[in-house]
Structure 1
Amino acid sequence: MHAADLDTALAGLSPAELELLEAELAAKLWARRWGRWKPYPWQVPPAQIETLGWWLQLGGRGTGKTDGCARYMVEHVNGPPCDPRLRGGHRMAIIAPTQGDAVEACVNGPSGLRAHDPRVVLRTTVGGTFARWPSGAEAKLFGSHTPDDVERLRAGGNRCLVWMEEVAAQRRLKDAITHSEMGLRIGPNPHYIGSTTPKPRTELIELTRSPKVTVTRGRTRDAIHLPEEQRLHLIAKYAGTRTEAQELDGILLEDIEGALWSRDGLDKARVGAKPPLSSVVVAMDPAATSHDESDEMGIVVAGRGTTYIPDRNGFQRQHGYAFDDLSGRMPPIEAARRAIRAYHEHRADAIVAEVNNGGEWIGTVIRQIDPTVNYRTVTASRGKVTRAEPVAALTDQGSAHIVGSLPDLEEQLTTWVPGDDSPDRLDAYVWALTDLMLAPAGNTAAFA
């Protein structure tokens, strides 16, 4: 049929007929794409997942973890209804580090739901954001980063399937699991699927050890659909390192030999909420220059408790509490603004910043934005190991605590080995705890 004839034929159809034609074409496109998918071995789900159990994909970068979960969810939607009384038979949830991640990676991305089923549409209503199928089946999208996200999960409704994307990167992972599990009660076999590059998170380690969790693992070196040049570059660059084991081979590293902090030690000192605080600081470990955006800017907020509590040695002391990690790669002006917002929000006593290696620029930027901020500098007069060891000892003594979960900071603490370059979150944490608990009274100029 010529294009002109096609246009004429389409013009003669009613709106209802056009809608039907569009649906039929979308179904044919979905069927064609569906048949072309060739899974890796680790993308093949177990034959049966226990009720309230998991299928968890651990894999290196580019191993198709998101792709495998998206395929599973589409297959679930097109299988037997979990509750025939529901329109479409299925009510599901997708939980990602942020709701934006859920939209970008799990729905619209090249490995998301729409790549497997182009009939999926994204809708935002007063009730939330949903991925919906023509049948009426739906998956509600959630984040797990802020306290508000947790409240949305608490009232997230009942589901038959929950997909947790990038499990190890979810800041409030424990709460996300708790509240989503409460709502997993539709149908005869409600369960989870999960996808993540592994990180040493307590919740993730516990999942891998659970008899109700089936784990499949993929390695970047085996991901033959990735461009070969890229695979070989990554393997050669990180060969023999912890980065290769975790980020490329998908190995869940628990405790690192030689690391000053252990996962078990952080867990034993962990608290659920911060107590009344007598002093709060926003500690910064800025990039070396105001033009350097390649490294992270370390920004950690911590406080000292008002009461004297015995540590594990029986010594009465005020304890330290790290309760926010605002670090990340960002322009210098954004780092300064982020620190200033934290300073006012938490009524901090000071912003404390390291000025070694050219970090003096941060003070200039902070004073330009807000001259009312109490800003002071610290200069390291000894090596990083010498500064970090006493702070690590505070954790071992039970007098330095992480409030809730700060997964990116915790990963740096438990994987850094003296002799390696120390990461910025760790440095900011060390500056904060040193200022609050180890600096001599009245000494805010230099830390030995």
Structure 2
Amino acid sequence: MNCGESWHDAWNALSPITQVRLFLKLLPGLPPELVRLVEQEWTFYGRPDQKSRRLPPWWTWLVLGGRGAGKTRTGAEWVKGMALGLAPIASEPVGRIALVGETQAQVRDVMIEGVSGLLAIHHRWEKPVWSPSRRRLEWGNGAIAQVFTAEDPEGLRGPQFGAAWSDELAKWPNLQETWDMLQLGLRLGDRPRQVVTTTPRPLPLIKRLLDDPRVAVSRAATSANRFNLAPSFLDSVSQAYGGTRLGRQELEGEIVEESADALWSRALIEECREREAPPLARIVVAVDPPASSSKRADSCGLVAAGIDRDGIGHVLADATLAGAKPHEWAQAAVALYRRLEADALVVEVNQGGEMATSVIREVDPGVPVTAVRASRGKFLRAEPVAALYAQGRVRHAGAFPALEDEMCDFGPTGLSSGRSPDRLDALVWALTHLMLGPKGRPRVRGL
């Protein structure tokens, strides 16, 4: 290796902000205030994949990245540039911008108030005013960014925009309907544009965007943002998920199709999608307790499902918890039971034995608990439930990304990661109880 290559490798090993600071040292005499401004300027230290492309022309910029890859900062900086008319993002300010996320809480906590959100990345003199009650940000130049959610696609009917930022598209309930409403409102100005920041999943909409020549695509792995992440985090997730299908999706930012021998397919699950469940005759919350509460322990699977008068099953919620102590997952299970006005908790007792049921009764002695014990392997238990889906007898009331990822990865040898399919186990117990086993006396109620 020659000196030039050695210097080049050493330079590339430095974080972008360190490169900027070294460059500034070559320019003595700069005022400290100017140095601080330059150090904070996104143009200098944002990665190439985090900066919007000017050519070829595009109407959508799709940013696919692993967990912690800097997707939120990318989207926030783009919106800032559009609102303030900052080159090279925009030649003039865009007056109306849509901010669309999974829920209002997600938009607020991540896109707006998060550590890489819109409020955090502005200088104090240019920072927009956030009005939570009105669900909007307003800049000094009059530009406005309005909050919308995939929980309420109809909220996008009527308003119009010149730009939009959609975050974590792969987690949206009512995905296609929300997307369609947003596209119909993206009609202000000569060239309305949008950025989509998301962890990739092989959803039909994302696949269509990838195939569209008008869509610019950027990709980044979690490791690309290593200078802004705790080394312990990178080490732990790499050891746990490196080389697995889940790791390719969540860390490498790849589109990973379902396993060839999985019991469920993405297409099948999409066919089962519904916006909300009808009145239900019976609702249960299934609990798949972990063997321990250590950091490396399995998650506690918590899935709620119901059955209607026509015998159709409806998956209602996935509230699975990771690293929870027994009293914590018991409280979460009881809370979900109460919220849905469920009829019973269905609890697997193979792992915790009587402890699993007793800890729930400590939280609420009045909750009906049905203990179930597995006598067959996970795959054999899941096969009859998968058959219910194939027969069109199960619906998903919304989207459950983590659960559906497990379903499309689960085959005869389990999950490709080798981890326990805790969400799937809870789903299987819930639907088995409702549709394949004894049922309690039904009572009709709406959700």
Look up the match of 1:427: 425
Taking the TM superposition and a 5 Å limit, the aligned residue runs for 1:355-374 are 355-358=349-352, 360-374=354-368
Taking the TM superposition and a 5 Å limit, the aligned residue runs for 1:304-323 are 304-307=307-310, 318-323=311-316
> Contact (CA 8 Å) 1:384, 1:422: kept in 2 or not?
no
> Contact (CA 8 Å) 1:281, 1:301: kept in 2 or not?
yes
Q: Which amino acid is the alignment partner of residue 247 of structure 1?
A: E
Look up the match of 2:170: 168
Q: Which amino acid is the alignment partner of residue 92 of structure 1?
A: I
Look up the match of 1:101: 106
Look up the match of 2:387: 393
Is residue 300 from structure 1 mapped to residue 306 from structure 2 by the alignment?
no
Q: Which amino acid is the alignment partner of residue 435 of structure 2?
A: M
**How far did 1:373 drift?**
2.2
> Contact (CA 8 Å) 1:67, 1:112: kept in 2 or not?
yes
The alignment of Structure 1 onto Structure 2 pairs a total of residues equal to 397
Distance 1:165 1:272 in 2: 20
Distance 2:34 2:346 in 1: 59
Q: 1:353 aligns with which of 331, 347, 365?
A: 347
Taking the TM superposition and a 5 Å limit, the aligned residue runs for 1:49-198 are 53-79=59-85, 89-118=94-123, 119-124=126-131, 126-128=133-135, 130-144=136-150, 147=151, 149-150=152-153, 153-154=155-156, 157-198=159-200
What secondary structure sits across from 2:430 in the alignment?
Answer: helix
> Contact (CA 8 Å) 2:75, 2:196: kept in 1 or not?
yes
Look up the match of 1:259: 262
Q: 2:291 aligns with which of 288, 293, 297?
A: 288
**How far did 1:291 drift?**
7.7
Distance 1:184 1:239 in 2: 39
**How far did 1:76 drift?**
1.5
**How far did 1:61 drift?**
3.1
Which runs of 5 or more residues in structure 1 are unaligned?
Answer: 1-24, 308-317, 443-448
Q: Which amino acid is the alignment partner of residue 176 of structure 2?
A: K
**How far did 1:122 drift?**
4.2
> Contact (CA 8 Å) 1:71, 1:113: kept in 2 or not?
yes
**How far did 1:224 drift?**
5.8
What is the root-mean-square deviation of aligned Cα atoms in Å?
3.4
What secondary structure sits across from 1:363 in the alignment?
Answer: helix
Q: Which amino acid is the alignment partner of residue 419 of structure 2?
A: D
For 1:93-145, what per-residue CA distance to the aligned partner results, in whole angstroms no more than 9, with x for missing partners? Answer: 222333343334333444333454222144225422x333222222223444x
Look up the match of 2:54: 47
For 1:311-342, what per-residue CA distance to the aligned partner results, in whole angstroms no more than 9, with x for missing partners? Answer: xxxxxxx3322122222335544433443344
Look up the match of 1:244: 247
> Contact (CA 8 Å) 2:357, 2:369: kept in 1 or not?
yes
Look up the match of 1:436: 434
Q: Which amino acid is the alignment partner of residue 219 of structure 1?
A: A
CA change 1:270–1:72 in 2 (3 A) is closer
Q: Which has the higher mean CA deviation after the structures are superposed, 236-245 or 350-359?
A: 236-245
Runs of 4+ residues over 6 Å off in structure 1: 25-29, 290-293
**How far did 1:235 drift?**
4.4
What secondary structure sits across from 1:141 in the alignment?
Answer: strand
**How far did 1:28 drift?**
9.9
